[in-house]
């Protein structure tokens, strides 16, 4: 028998207290490890997070000074390297590692949408106790700082979705830019193969996306050592190159960067400097894959110092050997072009760029998972690839769509130079959006003084604004692509979120009290005309049909069918009975012997033990009615087991009615025939006063959203088998 069965000595208050403690225990939290496990996790971050920003030295300096132009002067090189160093210090190190990682959501996830969910948290699913007693009117809400912000929910949602859409477009551009830049090194050593750079890049991308189903954990274990060696190669070659011109250390002075811009007046240079911090958003977006401490150790102890050495070394060689402007990265590798070290670095550059692409691919999976959970994206099947943390996931359709889009981008733009022009705009916009959301989170989530949020916005908003302004000049040259793609995704996600909100309002405005539902069926009910249809749809045996007929001769207001019916409630329904129950009674005016209102809630653990799986409560208003909350781990995929629930019900009934042996026998008989009843919403657009908007609204709701909801049903509906024990009840939803 389950440990959740309420023994005679356990009162309702004690029972609820125990269940509340279990709820907290099963809530998904940020991954907590320490000691050797923390160091191992920090090492694995290299294979997922830092390979993106770690491959920026491949193209940053040529992004500032094109290979087709003249080599810059010594002071210009020092100023440019200084700008790169302080960009990496202020944005990835201070802003993201120092601040942003502290603002993950309650389940340890990061990214722009995680910040939004902290500002506007969703209401948790109801446990099913509010079936007969609830207030239909408006309840008094405590006015807090967070509540005051709700007026701006939709503008901030669209702003956040724009950032999320651009981050998703980043998941396309990162593999395209990184891989083509690395493969371009082959053309430096062998100019004859320059026309083959694009086909070779596409071949590597096919391999990259093809191995994604292996999962984040396996990929990070394989990729982390490669990225570690790559970063060591960057650092060691940087040290060697620094020795050719030690004066490059003057670039550590931030005034050199300021004087560079003042002297040259070339504001556009910032668009090239921006390429040095691409990938920093992956540190925050991938928070759900790892944790704060591991990300900070990986960046602060390995990635950050190696990158600084690499850029300082490239700057030193550019000063002493101006001819390396043709391909700054590959031509500053110590030794001869085409020598042994050159090919070693080339091989690891290819591997590192493939891994760099992994950072944004996994970040894309995390963001889409968040969007699905917040009803801002169609429901897709999510595969969890680790029993250690719920954040390591794989989403098949997203992976293959990314692959197709990335290959199309590589083929369309054709060169890494053209791709880098498109790359910076998406990055700079996401940086600014993240800054605005953190500045709001400081006073409204952390409840700190408003001045701290304003100070954060002014400082980092100024830096992000500089980068964004420089990237804006590149829109006609390629920046239009991420803007168009990210904007389109933001519009689609906004429409989906709006329609799902209309569904939620339909649920909230149509709560039905169980007593009021049953009161509509006063007096005797003739069941002769429904015997055949119920028998067909519920597979009743002849003897059970006879029992149903006999029940009509009794004094019951509604006959009882000797079955167990499980009604699944929509997770947005906070009060009252599920709409599927009301529709069922209208179609079959008869009550199942056992009625279970089922709420399925997922938790951040791999598996929920059997003894904690179900929380059973009796509905006192009507015999045979129960609410059940089914706790489900992210690796649990089994359906509710009536044989596990029945002992709970028996225990409750025995405690309340010790002499109810006849009723308990009826319960066991009904348990032999289980029917799962699922709502299938038929979305209908309601009329509005404005005729033109009304037509547009109905097209969006009925022709686009309603059809998409059929293709992408909620996870529970999608995974439930379509067999003889399942009835899908059509519920018209006028939204």
Average pLDDT value for residue range 702-719: 73
Q: Which comes out higher in pLDDT, residue 389 or 667?
A: 667
Least confident range from 19-28, 343-352, 413-422, 689-698: namely 19-28
Whole-angstrom Cα Rg for the chain: 30
The pLDDT-based confidence of 68 (bands split at 50, 70, 90) is confident
Task: Supply 177's token pair.
Answer: 């830019």
Strands 614-618 and 625-633: antiparallel
Distance in angstroms (rounded) separating the CA atoms of residues 654 and 211: 55
What are the tens digits of pLDDT across the range 271-316?
Answer: 889 989 987 887 887 777 677 888 889 898 999 999 999 999 999 9
Q: Which two tokens stand for residue 720?
A: 């439930």
Q: What angle do CA 506, 509, 512 make, to 5 degrees?
A: 105
Triad 498, 481, 154: Cα angle to 5°: 20
Q: Supply the pLDDT for residue 667.
A: 81
Residues 407-452: pLDDT tens digits?
888 887 655 566 666 667 778 888 999 999 999 999 988 888 999 9
Specify the DSSP class assigned to residue 588: S
Q: How many CB atoms lie within 10 A of CB 125?
A: 17
Tens digit of each residue's pLDDT (9 = 90 or more) over 676-698: 888 877 888 888 888 898 889 99
Question: Domains plus CATH for the chain?
Answer: 31-122+152-502 (1.20.1740.10), 513-734 (no CATH)
Tokens of 503: 């569904």
Question: Per-residue pLDDT tens for 171-194?
Answer: 787 777 777 777 777 767 667 666
- Against a cut of 0.85, is the pTM above it? no
Q: In 554-585, which positions are buried (b, 16+ CB within 10 angstroms) versus exposed (e)?
A: eeeebbbbbbbbbbbbbbbbbbbbbbbbbbbb
Coil, helix or strand for 135?
coil
- Reply yes or no on whether the pLDDT at 534 is more than 50: no
pLDDT of 544 reads: 43
Rounded CA-CA distance 128/663 in Å is 23
- Distance (Å, rounded) from C-alpha 32 to C-alpha 91? 26
């Amino acid at each position: 028998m389950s440990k959740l069965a309420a023994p005679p000595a356990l009162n309702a208050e004690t029972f609820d207290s125990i269940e509340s403690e279990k709820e907290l225990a099963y809530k998904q939290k940020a991954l907590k490890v320490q000691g050797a496990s923390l160091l191992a996790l920090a090492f694995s971050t290299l294979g997922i997070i830092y390979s993106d920003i770690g491959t920026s030295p491949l193209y940053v300096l040529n992004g500032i000074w094109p290979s087709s132009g003249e080599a810059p002067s010594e002071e210009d090189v020092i100023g440019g390297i200084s700008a790169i160093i302080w960009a990496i210090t202020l944005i990835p190190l201070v802003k993201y590692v120092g601040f942003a990682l502290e603002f993950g959501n309650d389940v340890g996830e990061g990214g722009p949408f995680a910040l939004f969910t902290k500002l506007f948290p969703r209401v948790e699913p109801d446990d099913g106790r509010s079936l007969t007693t609830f207030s239909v009117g408006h309840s008094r809400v405590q006015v807090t700082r967070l509540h005051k912000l709700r007026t701006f929910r939709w503008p901030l949602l669209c702003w956040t979705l724009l950032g999320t859409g651009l981050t998703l477009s980043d998941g396309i551009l990162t593999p395209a830019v990184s891989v083509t830049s690395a493969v371009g090194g082959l053309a430096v050593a062998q100019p004859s193969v320059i026309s083959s750079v694009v086909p070779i890049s596409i071949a590597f991308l096919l391999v990259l996306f093809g191995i994604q189903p292996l999962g984040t954990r396996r990929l990070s274990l394989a990729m982390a050592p490669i990225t570690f060696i790559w970063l060591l190669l960057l650092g060691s070659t940087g040290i060697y190159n620094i020795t050719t011109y030690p004066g490059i250390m003057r670039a550590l002075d931030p005034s050199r960067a300021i004087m560079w811009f003042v002297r040259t007046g070339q504001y556009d240079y910032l668009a090239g400097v921006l390429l040095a911090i691409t990938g920093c958003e992956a540190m925050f977006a991938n928070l759900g894959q790892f944790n704060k401490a591991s990300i900070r150790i990986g960046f602060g102890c390995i990635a950050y110092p190696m990158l600084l050495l690499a850029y300082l070394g490239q700057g030193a060689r550019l000063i002493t050997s101006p001819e390396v402007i043709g391909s700054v990265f590959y031509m500053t590798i110590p030794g001869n072009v085409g020598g042994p070290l050159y090919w070693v670095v080339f091989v690891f550059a290819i591997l590192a760029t493939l891994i760099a692409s992994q950072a944004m691919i996994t970040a894309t999976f995390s963001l889409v998972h968040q969007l699905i959970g917040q009803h801002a994206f169609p429901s897709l099947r999510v595969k969890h690839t680790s029993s250690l943390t719920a954040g390591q996931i794989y989403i098949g359709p997203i992976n293959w769509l990314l692959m197709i889009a990335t290959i199309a981008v590589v083929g369309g733009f054709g060169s890494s130079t053209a791709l880098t022009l498109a790359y910076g705009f998406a990055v700079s916009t996401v940086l600014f959006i993240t800054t605005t959301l953190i500045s709001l989170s400081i006073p409204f989530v952390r409840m700190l003084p408003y001045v701290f949020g304003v100070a954060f916005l002014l400082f980092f908003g100024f830096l992000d604004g500089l980068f964004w302004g420089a990237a804006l000049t590149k829109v006609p040259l390629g920046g239009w692509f991420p803007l168009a793609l990210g904007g389109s995704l933001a519009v689609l996600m906004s429409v989906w979120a709006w329609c799902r909100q209309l569904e939620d309002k339909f649920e909230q405005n149509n709560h039905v009290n169980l007593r009021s539902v049953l009161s509509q069926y006063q007096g005797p009910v003739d069941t002769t005309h429904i015997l055949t249809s119920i028998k067909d749809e519920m597979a009743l045996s002849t003897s059970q049909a006879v029992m149903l007929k006999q029940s009509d001769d009794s004094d019951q207001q509604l006959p009882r069918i000797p079955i167990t019916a499980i009604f699944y409630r929509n997770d947005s329904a906070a009060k009252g009975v599920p709409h599927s129950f009301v529709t069922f009674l209208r179609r079959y005016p008869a009550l199942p012997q056992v009625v279970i209102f089922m709420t399925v809630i997922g938790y951040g653990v791999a598996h929920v033990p059997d003894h904690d799986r179900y929380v059973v409560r009796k509905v006192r208003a009507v015999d045979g009615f129960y609410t059940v909350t089914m706790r489900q781990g992210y690796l649990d995929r089994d359906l509710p087991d009536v044989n596990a629930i029945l002992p709970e019900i028996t225990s409750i009934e025995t405690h309340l009615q010790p002499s109810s042996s006849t009723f308990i026998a009826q319960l066991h008989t009904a348990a032999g025939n289980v029917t799962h009843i699922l709502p299938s919403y038929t979305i209908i657009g309601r009329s509005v006063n404005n005729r033109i908007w009304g037509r547009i609204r109905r097209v969006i709701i009925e022709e686009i959203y309603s059809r998409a909801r059929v293709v992408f049903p909620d996870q529970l509906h999608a995974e439930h088998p379509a067999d003889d024990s399942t009835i899908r009840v059509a519920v018209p939803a006028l939204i």
